[in-house]
Amino acid sequence: MSRFYSYLHSAVTMLEEYTGAEPFATFSKKYFARFKKFGSRDRKLISHLCYCYFRTGKSLRALSVEDRLTTGLFFCSDAPNEMLETYRPEWNRETHLSLEEKFHLCGLDAKADAVFPWPDELSEGMDKELFTASFFQQPSLFIRIRPGKKDKVMAQLKQAAISFDLIRENAIALKPGTNIDGLLAVNTDVVIQDLSSQRVGELMTLAEKQDTTPFTVWDCCAASGGKSLLAYDLLRSAELTVSDIRESVLMNLKKRFAEAGIRKYQLFATDLSSGDTFRPPPALQGKHPFDLVLADVPCSGSGTWSRTPEQLFYFEKERINAYAALQQKILSRVVPFVKPGGYLLYSTCSVFHGENERILSFLKAQFHLRVVKMELLKGYSEKADTMFAALLQRSE
């Protein structure tokens, strides 16, 4: 049993060094590389303790790091386990309780409400209690089956005896941490993509033309290219243009496109947020406006905090306005590239009104765009991310 106290001590040491300047997954990988004594199971359990600590968010600040770690473990446990039995055996028999009941059992003045203390900033329709509870469970791993690959993928999963749920036509939910490397051809047969991100595709198809002429799409904040891949698979005759501020990201995207069999596309790096004036890069100069611009803009990422709870732990409310200002600047530079009658698909992985509905009001007032459909994709009830997406059309 003493090894669990060693894990607790190691978790405290890691947290004292971590500042939140980089994702905890990146930090922990570097940290464990420095200390070779930790085996695979050690790393997994120590990291789990740290994530339990972050999942308590803005609550429990009066507790010591050790007490917050063990309390966080209790809040994140839905079944008895050895670690909790070691630290707090009286709690190990009560893991079935609700989050609010666990707070009460611990005799804490803090309540579950304190985990996420910005209810007034939420987008309309959010269930604050369910959203807060979602921080204490690891989301599922979701994959999207690419066209024509369903039978093959299903057979491979069954043959490997991997537990899965087919929850939509081509969407599969796997248990957190499921290793599909070497089993499924990622990017060729399947795409690792959160369920809510997959559902954004439903709005994409509303923009599709009915004729057979090429459908021009610009993914202006492409990042890893997930939305571009989705557009390629869903929209007939899609001609892709992709851009991002980071050259390194675009290099990875090129590799991903090659694995996906996408050969014809335009790609360039550009900073849509720099300076007071924007000069279109050569790749856009003289180019006809696009049928569809995908603007999956930088945001707080608050809809993904159950995956990255360290961001909840370190987040400050003032950053909402900073992100909103950045989003407005980016949109002001890309909307002119939407052709008359064309579409803008605005999306964030944020739960904040200031990054969602308020930006939509800006787009309507500034550019007179018509909202075709707006949707808050509440993934917290499906062990998925929460996203906001809106399809807007430019007047003819």
In a domain, 303, yes or no: yes
Does residue 14 contact residue 28 with C-beta atoms inside 8 Å? Answer: yes
Which domain CATH number covers 179? 3.30.70.1170
User: What is the dihedral angle through the alpha carbons of 308, 310, 311, 314, rounded to the nearest 10 degrees?
Assistant: 170
CA distance to 65, 128, 349, per residue, from 114 (Å)? 17, 11, 22
- Residue 119: the pLDDT is 95
The DSSP code sequence of 201-261 is: HHHHHHT--SSSS-EEEEETT-TT-HHHHHHHHHSTTEEEEEEES-HHHHHHHHHHHHHHT
Are residues 176 and 228 both part of a single domain?
A: no
Q: How many domains does the chain have?
A: 3
Instruction: Tell which phi-psi region holds residue 287, choosing left (phi > 0), alpha (psi between -120 and 50) or beta.
Output: beta
The verdict on 102 and 157 lying in the same domain is no
Contact status, residue 385 vs residue 303, Cβ threshold 8 Å: yes
Distance, C-alpha 321 to centroid of its chain: 20
Are residues 167 and 231 part of one domain?
A: no
252 within some domain: yes
CA gap 257, 229 in Å, rounded: 8
Q: Can you list the residues of the chain whose pLDDT is less than 70? A: 1
Q: Supply the pLDDT for residue 1.
A: 53
Classify residue 133: in a domain, yes or no.
Answer: no
Collapse the DSSP code of 344 into the 3-class scheme (helix H, G, I; strand E, B; otherwise coil) and give the result: strand
For residue 33, the model assigns a pLDDT of 94
Q: pLDDT for 263-315, tens place per residue?
A: 999 999 999 988 777 778 887 877 779 999 999 999 999 999 999 999 999 99
Q: 214: domain CATH number?
A: 3.40.50.150
- Asked whether residue 188 falls in the same domain as residue 333, the answer is no
For the purposes of burial, counting CB atoms within 10 Å of the CB of 56, is it exposed (0-12), middle (13-18) or buried (19 or more)?
buried
282 and 214 in a single domain? The answer is yes
Q: Which domain holds residue 387?
A: 195-393
Per-residue pLDDT, 278: 75
Cα 200 to Cα 209: distance, rounded to the nearest angstrom: 17
CB atoms within 10 A of CB 179: 9
Residue pair 187/178 in contact by the 8 Å Cβ criterion: no
Angle made by CA atoms 352, 354, 360, in degrees to the nearest 5: 110
